Amino acid sequence: MSLKRSSGVLMSVSAIPSEYGVGVFGRECIEFAKEIKDMGFSYWQVLPFTPLDYGNSPYGSDSAFAGNELYISPDLMAEAGFVTQAEADSTKYSGSPYVADYAFARENREKLMRLAFSKLDKAKKDEIGVFIMSSGLHDHCLFRALKKRNDDKKFWEWSIGAKHSDALSLQPELIEEVLYHGFVQYLFYTQWFETKEQINALGIKIIGDMPIYVSRDSADVWANPELFDIDKETYIPSRVAGCPPDYFSEDGQLWGNPLYDWKYHKANGYEWWIKRIARQFEMYDMLRIDHFRAFASYWAINGKSKTARDGIWKKGPGMSLFKAVRNSLGDVPIIAEDLGVFGDDVVKLLNDSRFPGMRIIQFGFDPNDDPTHLPHNYPKNCIAYTGTHDNNTLLGWLWEASEEERAFALDYVGFDHGDWGKGGYDAPACRKIIESVWRSTAVLAIIPFQDMCGFGSDARMNIPGDDSGKWKFRTTFETISGIDADYFRKINSVFRRK
């Protein structure tokens, strides 16, 4: 993959200003893209577009191929004639514009989409049926229909259709519900492709994010248990996904997702993975793959364990997977999220794949070490971040770091005057850290939106291993317009990232 020296902004669509409880596709996304383009940025990195899990995380979805229905815009539904503008307006949110209200959005978006579906004629429903089959979303739609029939229980607890082979015979009596979920996905993909086309026309490319794992209670596991390292009758995994103790958690992270049966995937030429990655490149211009190191080796945790400490390293597919991807899709632009516990096998996979890895400056401020995350150690072929969705904000990190770490960080970036704890758009210490990343040789530098604003830890998007207050950050256009655009234009120009 060949990249030009450039920069981007990390911003979840859920956080985009909107009148509907969470961010949605359409005008607001395009306006945000215009704002960052004007500041000299070339990329917008988003969080995964897959449906959210029970904790509103996009990293444990019930489908590797479906889209998040909460991003569907009521306004675009009205423009397309599926509902009236008054009907769309009836689902507007009157609460805080700074907090994502997923429960409100879920309830009101479904109400609106079911109303729209009730108005469809036979010709449109036939079109939706063709879309379901051609887009590879049949299993997802049938899974969702059966989940509703089974009172939203986990699929292995269903009394009807728990086995995919049995469920196919039930489709005729579920056809309307299957078509409804197809209609939802039709709206999602239609709206996003139209939105992305306009964003690309501005000169902004989209960096997507693909979680490596899916939920155990997912259409993928239900319909294709052979893809996973689970008991094919009970769907119980003997070992589950997570990561060992690291920077974020002294007990590690116990995710609980089923692991893959890599022998099966290799034997059938990685067909499912090729389809999955191909879908990502229909939606995005570049793709970050989360927890990339698991393709080299992955942490397999005892399924009965209460923490992630009780695990073993198991070998992943390595380059055989990415050779198959290249043979089928070409030299697609992939970013390897190579954070966490490292090893020689991960280094080899990165070298062999030639995918750029990630560097996070916050991880570099160890006064007693010379880590790879300090900018003077960055290779050209890497993506450098001031932080990710899992990190604290820069200002939050400065406040919560030890005195020794903070002193080293401020010395390193050349901050020798003023108030290091000052936040806001012109936070002086944060600016020095940002400039250190921008000055580095990394081909692409990315900043979370919160760091552009100089926000503190209360604006953090996620805290790994902590289920409280996650994924809720939102913003307004008033906040966006307050950003010092001249400053970002200047550093993008001075450091040749414009």
Q: How many CA atoms lie within 13 A of 136 on its CB side?
A: 12
Catalytic residue among 220, 390, 435, 451: 390
404 to each of 366, 367, 399, 401, 456, how far by Cα in Å?
A: 9, 7, 12, 8, 20
Catalytic residue among 69, 75, 337, 451: 337
Q: How far apart (Å, rounded) are the C-alpha atoms in residues 65 and 275? A: 9
Annotation says 337 is catalytic: yes
CA angle 349, 353, 356 (to 5 degrees): 95
Helix axes 428-439, 403-413, angle to 10 degrees: 60
Surface-to-core class of residue 496, CB atoms within 10 Å of its CB (0-12 exposed, 13-18 middle, 19+ buried): exposed
Catalytic residue among 290, 338, 435, 451: 290
Q: Are 331 and 277 in contact (CB under 8 A)?
A: no
Amino acid at 179: L
Q: How far apart (Å, rounded) are the C-alpha atoms in residues 370 and 378? A: 12
Annotation says 226 is catalytic: no
Annotation says 411 is catalytic: no
Q: How far apart (Å, rounded) are the C-alpha atoms in residues 87 and 79? A: 12
Strand order through the sheet with 311-315? 253-258, 239-243, 297-302, 311-315
Active-site annotation, residues:
290, 337, 390
